[in-house]
Amino acid sequence: MKLPSADKSDNNDFALLALATRGPFLGFIRWTSYSCPHCHHVFRRDFWPNNVRLGRGERTCHNCGKPFDDGSREWPELSLTRKIRVFFPPLLVGIWGGFTLAGILSFFLAPRDEHSLGIVIFAFLFGLMPVIFTCPIRLIWISRSKNRYEIAPPGPPESRVSS
């Protein structure tokens, strides 16, 4: 039985306020709401579009009690690009890119006697610190996802092999 997919709606409620107040940064505040396809009860809001979530994919609505596909997938079901996105989410990539860009710009813009290639390497490695610190947590999530997948792989119950 194929479950209906969760409804997804993008929200940018501050766009008109940004135009009215000439506050340019308000226009960038946006989020995506995910809701039950049966009763439209919102079960998750996310600030990153197309965020990768690990999980079984089946959710029962707390409001109406009907099952639906929430869009999450287990680790073995993900494509290579989605697996990479689990390890390198957009915020952490932005932090790393900002530090790397700052290091490179300081190398080319500052006088040669003040900066060296060591500053660029330091900025690159310092920018990677958030990724390095979150990797152990993400490895735990992946391990749990693999265990869930091995216990009950997707598909009809009669096709699952019990151990």
Rounded Cα distance between 131 and 150, Å, is 27
Total tally of structural domains belonging to the chain: 2
Domain that holds residue 68: 33-73
The answer to whether residue 88 sits within a structural domain is: yes
Query: Which of 13, 44, 73 delimits the end of a domain?
Result: 73
pLDDT by 10s per residue, the chain, length 163: 488 888 888 888 777 776 677 766 776 778 889 999 999 999 998 888 778 899 888 889 998 989 999 888 999 999 999 999 998 888 889 999 999 898 888 877 877 666 677 778 888 889 889 989 999 999 999 999 999 999 887 665 444 444 3
Rounded Cα distance between 99 and 116, Å, is 15
Same domain, 88 and 141: yes
The answer to whether residue 109 sits within a structural domain is: yes
Q: Would strands 67-69 and 58-60 be described as parallel, antiparallel, or unpaired? A: antiparallel
pTM for the full predicted model: 0.73
The answer to whether residue 102 sits within a structural domain is: yes
Same domain, 47 and 84: no
> If residue 47 lies in a helix (H) or strand (E), which one and from where to where?
none
Same domain, 107 and 140: yes
